[in-house]
Amino acid sequence: MKNKYFWLLFPFLEPLLFKDYLEWVDLFFTCGKLIALLIIIIEYFSRYKLSKYLLVVFLYEIWLLIATILNPDGSIVRYCGPTVSVIGVCMYIELIIKKGLIVEVLHILTNTLSVFCVINAITVFLYPQGLTNQGDENYIYFLGLENRFSFYYLPLVAFSGLYSYLKYGKVKLFVYIMSLFNMLILIDKWAVGGMLGMIFMNMLLLFRKSLFSYKIFNSVVCFVIVIIANILLVFLRVQYLFEDFIVNDLGKDITLTGRTLLWDYGLLSFLYRPIWGIGYQDLSSLPVEMLNVGHMHNLFMNVLFYGGLGGMVLFLIIQFNWVKSLMNYRRYFEASILNLCLFAAFIMSLGDTFDSAPYWILVSMSVYINRIVKNM
């Protein structure tokens, strides 16, 4: 069982070094994703009907496909990459949860991401200026740019914590050691967004048995905070009130390393195509600020940019699913750690686009928290 489900999941966990900078390795992983998706689809539909949650995920991806087709500069190739991953991992997680294999898959996730983090740490220490680079001081390591390390570090906290609790009935020391180790790497590289997210996550993890677990930081309160924070930062630009702290203490410029320029472009694009959005388009047709990133450096702005109002509505329905599920089970540790991890992920997504496969794994697990709790 372990070998089968490891190989179905592994291609979707592709390290960013391969995905963005080694095309021949990326091609290998892409083929693996397509094969894995085909097997997952066959196994899923041979046993189950499409769930309401997956139906909304499919509608969201179909909406983005239509937006891409409607754009003269649309790129189906760029659309297919993230879509295969989103549909693949969402179907995979629902499948293994319904089959009662969540503990085994959490073990796979914990071991795989732990190995990735150790390899990444080795590349950081042995190659301080990166295995390759993307311009001045944009050093690329095993897990990509330093501000993207947390795309693996943060989910590892949730996966390892969940596995430890479901398997042993407690959070073992390994979870804290790995989380602290990864946080120190982010501090050393001064990856501010990821660093603050991991510090925040570690603090909440330490105080998980207090009021922070479910009375104050329940999923509804957390998501409302996220929405307000996005409005203040992206639309009202409240960061200008803290210019001295941002520039002198965090060492960032007031545009947040060009993020506000991307948001301005995203808002203009949204006003141009408010219903459908821009869809995925060829990178050569994007402004120079987006050429090296291809996203909005903010999760909600990214959804609005690519999918317009329609895409945003479907995206919010997906988020409502996990918020509601975690709220109903907020007194359970399993729900608490998933909520805290997603909250930290959304806080980091104020300045980045945390929409990779591990994010969708967290969301899918959260939607089916009732089955995870019953697994005990």
- Break the chain into its structural domains and give their ranges: 2-374
Predicted pLDDT of residue 250: 66
Q: Give the DSSP H or E segment for 132.
A: strand 132-133
Please, what is the average pLDDT of the chain? 87
The per-residue pLDDT for range 109-136, each reduced to its tens digit, is 999 999 999 999 999 999 888 888 766 6
More confident residue, 207 or 154: 154
DSSP 54-81: HHHHHHHHHHHHHHHHHSTTB-HHHHHH
Predicted pLDDT of residue 211: 44
The per-residue pLDDT for range 242-264, each reduced to its tens digit, is 777 777 776 677 777 778 888 98
Say if residues 205 and 341 touch (Cβ distance below 8 Å): no
Lowest-confidence region among 8-12, 93-97, 282-286, 333-337: 282-286
Going from the C-alpha of 168 to that of each of 172, 173, 315, 340, 373, the distances in angstroms are 8, 12, 35, 21, 14
For residues 186-197, average pLDDT: 77
Predicted pLDDT of residue 229: 93
Q: Which residue has the tokens 């992206």?
A: 234
Q: Measured between alpha carbons, how far is 303 from 359 in angstroms, rounded to an integer?
A: 14
Residue 51: is its pLDDT beyond 70? yes
Per-position b or e across 108-122, b if 16+ CB within 10 A of its CB: bbbebbbebbeebbe
Q: Measured between alpha carbons, how far is 161 from 318 in angstroms, rounded to an integer?
A: 24
Model confidence at 137, pLDDT cuts 50, 70, 90, reads low
Q: Measured between alpha carbons, how far is 343 from 352 in angstroms, rounded to an integer?
A: 14
Model confidence at 290, pLDDT cuts 50, 70, 90, reads low
Per-position b or e across 124-154, b if 16+ CB within 10 A of its CB: beeeeebeeeeeeeebbbbbbbbbbbbbbbb
Alpha helices in 234-332 (DSSP H): 243-244, 259-272, 299-328
Q: Where does residue 3 rank: exposed (0-12), middle (13-18), buried (19+ CB within 10 A)?
A: exposed
